[in-house]
Structure 1
Amino acid sequence: MMVSYFLSGIFNLSIYIYLNWFYFDLLTITTVLAWIYVAKIGSFSAIYYIVLGLFSNALLMLSIFVDIVVIENRTPWALWSIYSFGVNTIDMMMLIALITNRDFLLLHKLCRFVKGKKFKPWFIDESEKPTNA
């Protein structure tokens, strides 16, 4: 994560800073997932926070890029505050997750719960089986 932030200050993949940060977040997610796959590392709590945090940061960067560059908005509004607060909060959560490797928001437990469930549409009732009449 630190290497990504450092490299994004040196190398420019785009002339737009927010788009550059977006690309580096996606590159970091790809690198982390590839490292987990190649090294055959079991899942640990910090990975969920890193991937989800980087993905959230990437979405925030992309939304600010669209707002400022594509739409050419120069008037501050709620998205700018969400971006400022969100990116810093997410970065702190990723840092805490890396240092402690604790599932303090229960994301790891939630992911295991979702993986273990077999979701069925609410409108399918198995008690009513069709009969051949």
Structure 2
Amino acid sequence: MTFLYCLVQKSSKPGGERTRMWVALTIFLSYLLLDPLLNLNFGFDILNYADAYLIWAICDVFTLIIILFIAKNKKITKLPAKLYIVVGFSVNIALFIGMFADTHYGEYIGPWWFWNVYAVVVNVSDVMMIIALLCNKDFLGLVRGYNRLRGLKN
């Protein structure tokens, strides 16, 4: 939906900014490729594999690299969504690796607090990235904090 919104917004302003649209398309294709229901239709049940979290982490790393390449010439002040997407994907990657390590090397086999944290934070970061792509505003103050860390003026 975010890609369609960015596409319509781009088509209403010919010659306008295209970076958000390409980033939204990249995220859409990445999530479509890894959709368990779509994969099941093709006879591949990713959820039955113990390495599913590792596969998702690796795909998110590749997606993040592609997004950084697409938005390499855009400053965070002009495209705040870039910082939100980098943070969102980084959090998702860390949680996927944590879940992979927990399911492979953890001794406790039942659900515990980390699984609940994973379930909530992955969805919150996905929603944060969607909102950032839709509005392209610094709605949580991440850009302001990033600039302060780097010693830049707002």
Q: Above 0.5 in TM-score? A: yes
In the alignment, the residues of structure 2 paired with residue 90 and residue 82 of structure 1 have an alpha-carbon distance, to the nearest angstrom, of 12
1:83 corresponding residue in structure 2: 118
Q: What does the per-residue CA deviation read over 1:59-78, in whole Å, with 9 as the maximum and x for residues that have no partner? A: 00110110012335421100
In the alignment, the residues of structure 1 paired with residue 134 and residue 108 of structure 2 have an alpha-carbon distance, to the nearest angstrom, of 38
In the alignment, the residues of structure 1 paired with residue 105 and residue 31 of structure 2 have an alpha-carbon distance, to the nearest angstrom, of 24
Greater per-residue helix proportion? 2
Once the two structures are TM-superposed, the CA of residue 104 in structure 1 deviates from its matched residue by: 0.9
In the alignment, the residues of structure 1 paired with residue 124 and residue 31 of structure 2 have an alpha-carbon distance, to the nearest angstrom, of 16
Q: Does 1:4 align with 2:40?
A: no
Alignment RMSD: 1.8
Q: Does 1:27 align with 2:62?
A: yes
In the alignment, the residues of structure 1 paired with residue 83 and residue 116 of structure 2 have an alpha-carbon distance, to the nearest angstrom, of 25
In the alignment, the residues of structure 2 paired with residue 72 and residue 7 of structure 1 have an alpha-carbon distance, to the nearest angstrom, of 31
Q: Does 1:51 align with 2:86?
A: yes
Structure 2, gaps ≥5 residues long: 1-26
- Structure label with greater radius of gyration: 1
Q: Which amino acid aligns with 1:87?
A: V
Cα contact 2:53–2:100 (8 A) shared by 1: yes
Give the share of equivalent positions with the same residue, in percent: 34
Q: Does 1:41 align with 2:74?
A: yes
Structure 1 segments, 4+ long, off by >4 Å, are: none
Q: Does 1:17 align with 2:45?
A: no
Structure 1, gaps ≥5 residues long: 118-133
